[in-house]
């Protein structure tokens, strides 16, 4: 007779949205998990002024100095959950809870990435599509287009969001530095790279309620954002007592694990570009 052995546990993808490129903080105020409003601190540009303009007239001061109003961004919550089910004689109460929790640990990042792409990145009300009129560009050119936009529109380091399947191409072209001991791959320009399994939805910007366009075969959507922070609660097992898990109608038991996230971006803006997935130029 075969023996039942413990399950093999895995580790989530290390360079996803919950990886080392973004600060992940545990909410101390549960109201934060209903969604947040965030005041942007560095999203308006600086301006030039000269007290003594060049008499030759090569530089002319504007009529007055510009004062930019502080903007506010709103970010919504999303809850990831995992449920495990078995016969009441299959697993113990604690074993079933462990299965549900491990299922959540492995799947929560995908849920967050898929939701963030569809609800924020692919929302054309604040995301600019930089794809040229001629169509998709090579992935190296695409990174350059995004980084130029971020440097001019934000002025600092940010995050490139790419489907996880582009990792080999980005490494092949030395566009991103993958150092084993570092948790956040970066470009030469200093921007972090998020390789999201949830970004394989591969949708581009559209104005709601229009359905976002899916990239054709052989192409992908890349995005860039200013820095981010992710607010979350602790993972929670909903049922605390065994009797709460049992469905007496069919004599099965269920365990449910949940966690809630609020992804925040320094400014209410992002940019996108469609790239080809060809290894050649």
Please report the pLDDT score of residue 83 as a whole number: 93
Task: Taking residues 9-22, report their average pLDDT.
Answer: 92
Query: Distance (Å, rounded) from C-alpha 250 to C-alpha 13?
Result: 37
In our burial notation (b when 16+ CB lie closer than 10 A, e otherwise), range 136-170 reads bbbbbebbbbbbebbeebbeebbbbbbbbebbebb
Is residue 41 domain-resident?
no
Is residue 101 domain-resident?
yes
Q: Residue 211: is its pLDDT beyond 70?
A: yes
Quickly state the pLDDT bin for 252 (edges 50, 70, 90): confident
Contact 191, 208 (CB under 8 A): no
Number of structural domains found in the chain:
1
Query: Distance (Å, rounded) from C-alpha 177 to C-alpha 157?
Result: 15
Quickly state the pLDDT bin for 47 (edges 50, 70, 90): confident
> Can you say whether the dihedral through the CA atoms of 163, 168, 174, 176 is positive or negative?
positive
pLDDT tens readout for residues 140-176: 999 999 999 999 999 999 999 999 999 999 988 888 8
Query: Distance (Å, rounded) from C-alpha 97 to C-alpha 103?
Result: 10
Is residue 154 domain-resident?
yes
Residue 115 CB: number of other CB atoms within 10 A? 20
Is residue 50 domain-resident?
no
Please report the pLDDT score of residue 249 as a whole number: 75
Task: Taking residues 2-29, report their average pLDDT.
Answer: 91
Query: Distance (Å, rounded) from C-alpha 111 to C-alpha 266?
Result: 22
Query: Distance (Å, rounded) from C-alpha 245 to C-alpha 238?
Result: 9
Is residue 97 domain-resident?
yes
Q: Residue 181: is its pLDDT beyond 70?
A: no
pLDDT tens readout for residues 53-102: 666 666 777 778 888 888 889 999 999 999 988 877 778 888 889 999 99
Please report the pLDDT score of residue 131 as a whole number: 98
Q: Residue 31: is its pLDDT beyond 90?
A: yes
Please report the pLDDT score of residue 120 as a whole number: 97
Is residue 38 domain-resident?
no
Q: Pick from 127, 156, 129: which is nearest to 142 by CA?
A: 129
Q: Would you give the DSSP letter of residue 193?
A: E
Q: Would you give the DSSP letter of residue 111?
A: H
Query: How far is the first Cα of the chain from the last one, in angstroms, to the nearest whole number?
Result: 57
Q: CB under 8 Å to 62, separation ≥6 — which residues?
A: 47, 49
Query: Distance (Å, rounded) from C-alpha 74 to C-alpha 11?
Result: 32
Is residue 94 domain-resident?
yes
Is residue 216 domain-resident?
yes
Quote the domain boundaries for residue 94.
13-24+75-281
Q: Is 68 exposed, middle or buried (0-12, 13-18, 19+ CB in 10 A)?
A: exposed
Quickly state the pLDDT bin for 117 (edges 50, 70, 90): very high
Residue 271 CB: number of other CB atoms within 10 A? 24
């Amino acid at each position: 007779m075969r023996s039942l052995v413990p399950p093999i546990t895995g580790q989530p993808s290390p360079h996803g949205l919950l990886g080392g490129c973004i600060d992940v903080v545990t909410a101390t105020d549960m109201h934060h998990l209903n969604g947040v409003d965030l005041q942007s601190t560095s999203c308006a540009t600086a301006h030039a002024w000269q007290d003594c303009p060049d008499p030759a007239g090569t530089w002319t001061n504007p009529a007055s100095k510009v004062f930019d109003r502080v903007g506010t961004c709103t970010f919504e919550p999303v809850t990831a959950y995992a449920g495990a089910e078995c016969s009441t004689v299959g697993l113990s109460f604690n074993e079933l809870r462990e299965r549900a929790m491990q299922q959540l640990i492995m799947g929560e990042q995908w849920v967050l990435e898929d939701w963030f792409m569809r609800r924020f990145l692919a929302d054309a009300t604040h995301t600019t599509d930089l794809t040229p009129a001629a169509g998709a560009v090579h992935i190296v050119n695409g990174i350059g287009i995004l980084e130029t936009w971020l440097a001019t529109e934000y002025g600092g380091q940010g995050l490139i969001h790419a489907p996880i399947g582009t990792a080999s191409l980005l490494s092949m072209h030395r566009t991103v530095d993958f150092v084993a001991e570092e948790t956040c791959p970066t470009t030469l320009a200093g921007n972090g790279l998020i390789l999201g399994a949830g970004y394989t939805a591969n949708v581009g910007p559209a104005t709601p309620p229009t359905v976002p366009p899916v990239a054709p075969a052989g192409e992908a959507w890349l995005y860039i954002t200013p820095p981010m922070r992710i607010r979350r609660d602790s993972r929670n097992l909903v049922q605390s007592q065994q009797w709460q898990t049992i469905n007496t109608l069919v004599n099965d038991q269920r365990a449910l694990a949940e966690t809630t996230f609020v992804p925040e971006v320094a400014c209410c803006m992002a940019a996108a570009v469609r790239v080809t997935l060809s290894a050649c130029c």
